[in-house]
Structure 1
Amino acid sequence: MGELVMKLIIWVIVIISIQKYNTCLGSRRLSSDSLIITNPPPLGICASTVIKYGYKCQEIDVMTEDGYILSVQRIPEGRDDHGGYRRNRQPVLLQHGVLVDGMTWLLNSPEQSLALILADNGYDVWIANTRGTSFSRRHISIDPSKPEFWNWTWDEIAARDLPAVIAFIFNQTNQKIHYVGHSLGTLIALASFSEWKQIDKMKSAALLSPIAYLSHMTTPLGILAAKNFVGEVTIVFGLAEFNPKGDDVDRFLKGLCADPKVDCYDLMSSITGKNCCLNASTVDVFLRNEPQSTSTKNLVHLAQTVRDGVLAKYDYGTRAFNVEHYGVPKPPIYNLSNIPTDFPLFLSYGGQDALSDPKDVATLLDDLKMHDEGKLSVQYIKDYAHADFIMGVTAKDVVYNKIISFFQRNQ
């Protein structure tokens, strides 16, 4: 059961689901003032996953306005590009979901992984890693062992992490940026864009398994976990780190698996829906790298989205606390209809997705119904579930080629 629990956490509420640095591309830097990081992680995503395939790759640090140091990888050109570094390549930012990191875009072979496919198709690829993940467990003054390090939700990722990375890429390239998000990566983009944060630096956005509403989530495990996270879970974990490899999480998930409505022996399907196109070896790679820590407060916030049926900022639980933080008794709602109607969006969702349910996507599309003609592209894939979009062996032909065509139309 212990091994099952360890695998299970990978997708629980996913949405609720270097040996050396590349000297030709420079050193690791902070975005705000180019300070050198004296103790970077000894092995990064570039060395372990990208350079070995013959691609150039740069490890960069970007600092948020509240002092978190985020790991970002840059793949500036394709594997077979021998023409040297070209500055006019269009930048693309890839943003992962919750409980995973930037490795999620590099799980398959170069011919099947979106990050490397984009590089081979002429794009300057940037991979984000949000606060709390393996290579972003750093802050200018707070140690990750302290609860203060984990006092955030996806509100802060949308308002601080995403704008910091976007601004850094824009300043480095002097070009507007294409965006690809999966799962939580779509939620933070929609929330940020609805408040017009950094959207002036963006060229377009492709959203895979888009998440904004979770009222029709069908996974019994996800629903049960959401109820627990809104309820007594903070008593168990406190508002600090949610470490999927810790004993407290192990006990929590064993309790969920004891519920007769939950099938913990078909792990991926019980959380994401029945994925059609996963390769067993890819899942093995996934399990070796994941799961990643996040904040308990972040999962509580996601659970509130399930409970309340609206996309709103974190609810502090009482009228007085909400007034203290927001000036109003209820958390402000993210109004997705505020997203500029001329901003190009591509949404791709699956008929078997138990997390990004088609009914909830329909609600999101209703928010976007005033989008300008030709600026909203929608793809529905009947057989796809949540993990197929990032791990599916058919994703290149079914999804990624359409993303590239969408980017080309919106150059």
Structure 2
Amino acid sequence: MEVANSLTCIILLIFFCGSAAGSRTKLFSFNAQGNGIGVAALAPSSDDGICISMVETQGYACEEHTVTTQDGYILSMQRIPVGRSGGAPGNRPPVLLQHGLLMVAKSVMDGITWLLLPPEQSLAFVLADNGYDVWLANSRGTKYSKGHTSLSPADSAYWNWSWDELVAYDLPATFQYVNDRTGQKLHYVGHSQGTLIALAAFSKDQLLNMLRSAALLSPIAFVGQMTSPLARNAADNFIAETLYWLGLSEFDPRGEAVVKLLKDICRKPGVDCTNLLTAFTGQNCCLNSSIVDIFLDHEPQPSATKNMVHLAQMIRQGTITMYDYNDANENTKHYGQPTPPAYNMTSIPNDLPLFLSYGGEDALSDVNDVKLLLDSLKDHDGDKLVVQYRDDYAHADYVMAENAKQDVYDPLIAFFKLKRT
């Protein structure tokens, strides 16, 4: 345990330091080259994207897509139109998978979240093999969604957003794109932050005309009772705010030296790097230690420091509101009122089909916080709400556990197949 705690402290330190140093380097490089606002970052070409690196290698057909949000961000999406056995796409029901937050200091994942396990265990592949038209979303700022119509990621203005903008722009753009391309309403699966932005949108009566049902894994709405000691410590000590005040607008935990160091540490005899996840996510029950090496090859991804500040505000205050500028005049300028508006979970329509699965060991989506969410849904139609509780699951188990297929994904798919009036 002492080794694990020491390792965790080292990891936390180098990730924070790596984030700061990486951002300074990028900002300096950008200014030194004399570039300015208006230099667009191009979307990655399909020859180095998720399809070719993670999907086609497993024998599945895959398409690379991009969608542009109303505020100019160019988002990468991947489509797995059929299962490994092939066949015509036909009229398969579409499912949109939205990644979330997972690891160190609430760093962001991307669409690869759903592809980390072998094909017979990864949710994206399992859905495709069960007759669904699968779409992977990648939020702004992640590796494959760094494009913008006029801004460069090296410019601080590019990172001027929090999860409010994911609700207002990213989620509507991806929903509309899938709906337009398939001509059908879609199922939605979110993990962690992917549940937060969906719940916020549903509470504002958004996206519902394009939605069949939603499955929320490790649901996050209230986070005031989060038990992750390092995540809470980062929030209580205003670490994200400090970075923001220092002008570090991009929160990037993926420095090359940091990743190499982590891999080297994880390969040492007697070191189980699932402890690296445990310190932030809770005691995951069912991860193979080899998954951490695969994870570090691809995750975590950058996010806006402003997004980290917003999440820290939620942890400290125990509320679900829009970003707080901590200034009545600034809040009034943005919202027309001196305090940020709340997302009201009781406003979620009672007839919206919802599948919620949460774990007793989850230190980020804490049981007591989930109970607050469930209390907000107490008037939900009984036949439209399915709640699953796994007492041994923590945050990472929902996307990386070896038994998630039979214990979570199979019930989730059964929920999607329910015939509802």
Range into which the TM-score falls when normalised by the shorter chain: 0.7 to 0.9
Describe the SS at the equivalent of 1:374: helix
Q: Quick one: distance in 2 between partners of 1:41 and 1:129?
A: 14
1:96 is matched with 99
Higher helix share: 2
Describe the SS at the equivalent of 2:395: coil
User: Counterpart amino acid of 1:71?
Assistant: S
Describe the SS at the equivalent of 1:222: helix
Q: Quick one: distance in 1 between partners of 2:217 and 2:209?
A: 22
2:383 is matched with 374
Larger deviation, residues 192-201 vs 130-139? 192-201
Alignment of 1:52 with 2:57, yes or no, is yes
1:180 maps to which of 185, 189, 192: 189
1:5 maps to which of 8, 11, 15: 11
Q: CA deviation at 1:42?
A: 4.0
Q: Quick one: distance in 2 between partners of 1:38 and 1:268?
A: 30
Contact 1:239 1:297 in 2 (8 A): no
Which of structure 1's runs of 4+ aligned residues deviate more than 6 A? none
1:208 is matched with 217
Alignment of 1:149 with 2:178, yes or no, is no
String of CA shifts for 1:174-206, please: whole Å, max 9, x gaps: 111000000000000000111111111000000
Give the 3 Å change call, closer, same or farther, for CA 307–153 of structure 1 in structure 2.
Answer: same
Alignment of 1:65 with 2:70, yes or no, is yes
Give the 3 Å change call, closer, same or farther, for CA 199–176 of structure 1 in structure 2.
Answer: same
Q: CA deviation at 1:124?
A: 0.2
Q: Quick one: distance in 2 between partners of 1:118 and 1:207?
A: 15
Give the 3 Å change call, closer, same or farther, for CA 374–307 of structure 1 in structure 2.
Answer: same
User: Counterpart amino acid of 1:5?
Assistant: I
Q: Quick one: distance in 1 between partners of 2:339 and 2:276?
A: 36
1:74 is matched with 79
Q: Quick one: distance in 1 between partners of 2:46 and 2:140?
A: 15
User: Counterpart amino acid of 1:75?
Assistant: I
Q: CA deviation at 1:375?
A: 0.6
Alignment of 1:43 with 2:48, yes or no, is yes
The 5-angstrom pairing of residues 230-245 of structure 1 reads: 231-236=241-246, 238=247, 240-245=249-254
Give the 3 Å change call, closer, same or farther, for CA 53–298 of structure 1 in structure 2.
Answer: same
Q: Quick one: distance in 2 between partners of 1:2 and 1:380?
A: 28
Contact 2:332 2:338 in 1 (8 A): yes
Give the 3 Å change call, closer, same or farther, for CA 225–396 of structure 1 in structure 2.
Answer: same
Alignment of 1:131 with 2:140, yes or no, is yes
User: Counterpart amino acid of 1:391?
Assistant: M
Contact 2:44 2:144 in 1 (8 A): no
Describe the SS at the equivalent of 1:136: coil
1:303 is matched with 312
Contact 1:7 1:287 in 2 (8 A): no
Aligned residues: 369
- Runs of 5+ in structure 2 lacking a partner? 1-6, 17-41, 102-107, 260-272
Contact 2:43 2:147 in 1 (8 A): no
Give the 3 Å change call, closer, same or farther, for CA 410–317 of structure 1 in structure 2.
Answer: farther
Contact 2:274 2:287 in 1 (8 A): no
Contact 2:43 2:145 in 1 (8 A): no
Alignment of 1:106 with 2:110, yes or no, is no
User: Counterpart amino acid of 2:94?
Assistant: P
Describe the SS at the equivalent of 2:148: coil
Q: CA deviation at 1:5?
A: 2.2
Contact 1:4 1:265 in 2 (8 A): no
With structure 1 as the length reference, what TM-score do the two structures score?
0.85
